[in-house]
Structure 1
Amino acid sequence: MLFKKKIQDCIIIGSGPAGYSSAVYAARADMNPILFTGSQPGGQLTTTTSVDNYLGFYEGVNGNDLMNNCKKQAERFNTKIINQSVIHVILSNKKGGIHRVFLDKKKYLESRGLIVATGSRPKFLGINKEKKFMGLGISSCATCDGFFHKEKNVAVIGGGDTALEEANYLAKICQKVYIIVRKGYFKASKALQERILKKNNIDILFYSNVTEIIGYNFLEGIKIFNQKNKMNRTILISGLFLAIGHVPNTEIFKSKLDLDERGYIIVQKGETRTSKPGVFAAGDVQDPIYRQAITSAGTGCMAALDLEKYLSLCEEYEKI
């Protein structure tokens, strides 16, 4: 059973900054994009109460409002937005080939071009109130949300490069930063460790786990258990930053696209081209380093331009 017989030029999977940015550019290039929002319309920004570092909003903007504006802008140029998730794909290996995007076992769309903007999700500890307080004191991005805790006490969970980079950034603006490390050592580079050890306002808690999140409507503190001395401790903080890794939303692309060891889509350097012709990737799903709304929007633009060029080349090829 075919969902729609017409072969599309552009299907976009994902509705964060990368997805909507690619939709705006694709629509303005007359590619008539169809965008599938997925299970979290608007992406991770919808869990952020205020975004202060997105260019053009000098007073900041609510995360939901920002993504609603992006959606309206895409709709203004006649992007068709469908609030469904893609569950399966069949990707062509041929230049100019047709890709199939399935919404269930029988219903699918066909397209010459596909932009993957499914994003990533932070790893969680798995304790009560953790997800409830995302955007209400709990965050996975210090550069996004650290400013709201200026001159306050915060904590970072993790012992790798990302955790120490987050802690180093927070130490510049916060009164005190606790680094909570499950093991008795850091996994981060020696250079980062040395930089952290020089900070007077950083307190390192090795062999420690967060056992409880304190607060009613927002984060007020945490309870920590030290595995070495078997002691419990309560710390009052306004911000808790999870730096234990991210998981790219690439489950449906395993064995379909080239992924790195962490599951991120591999793209050509300086481009958004993937291992399959006509398939492009934008945003956090192909970016384990920056993970910012503005960089995601930038690669969304790139993906649409790359797809436009690809379709033009396919047309020239067919004329030969």
Structure 2
Amino acid sequence: MESSSCFLNKSINQRKVVPDQRAFAFPTGYRGKRCPRKDAVAASGYVRWDGISGTPTLPAGTQIQRDDQVTFTTTQTVKAAGGVLRVPLVADNPGSAGNTDDGIALRLGTPVSGIPSTGYADTVAGGDDIEELETWRARVMERYYWIPQGGADPDYVIWAKEIAGITRAWTLRHYKGTGTVGVMVATGDPTHPAPGDDLVQAVRNHILPLAPIAGAGLFVFAATEKVIPMTIALAKDTAEIRAAVSAELNSLMLRDGVPDGKVYLSRISEAIILATGEVAHQLRAPVADVALGTTELPVVGTITWATYTEVSS
């Protein structure tokens, strides 16, 4: 039987190894076990003009502004060619706020001769907020209990998730033949979990010097989005309840979405019930559990809001 002093010493040693909640109350001072909190990342992409006359040039350092006052700066000097001007830019401030849907208006901060004041966003993505405290804490705890195994499946998952923007990863052994390794990665965005090419390449570059396999045997790729359209009838149907239902369904996709898994009808109905204000509903589509492929993650597709039908007793 252990003496009280022995038990006390063991407890103290464990507290030195495993961080408790208080360690994460001061995230700027605590770095984790070789697991620093992921910084925010600025969005980047292009601003595009079509139908340009002549060959005007947009210089690097030009400020571009979105209608909600989010600003960007061009990173290269580019001359129009073939009526098209496509200029790379980066958001001035890091974070997901810089991500911009294709076709959204982006305006010149100051006029430039020969170039219309309004261009349009083209693949402006990759922005990510500073890692949420609980997500970071989970990674640190995962790291504390993880024992490196020289390239075992969990190693690749840990390495992939060290890159800002990647919150989920899976290892696929013999992905492209004997001895090869596939690493599928995804973001925490329930509407667009598949990361862009630049982020996928960043994961590969990070893993290459750590992995025990040759570069030609490592395949890092984005998850495939399995879009699930739905038809839902709400007994009490308001814009606020619809928004709450959509939010709960997106959360469900993050919780239950795993490769080779299923999205069950019962879980979809449960998520709808959790929405604030929901009284009763009818799930018209899908009509069967949705099976996911080896490289697929679920995404809520277009929701068709139908009319609720009262069932007479």
Is TM (by shorter chain) over 0.5? no
Choose between structure 1 and 2 for higher RCO, CA contacts under 8 A separated by at least 6 residues.
1
TM-score with structure 1 length normalisation?
0.23
Considering fraction of residues, name the structure with more strand. 2
TM-score with structure 2 length normalisation?
0.23
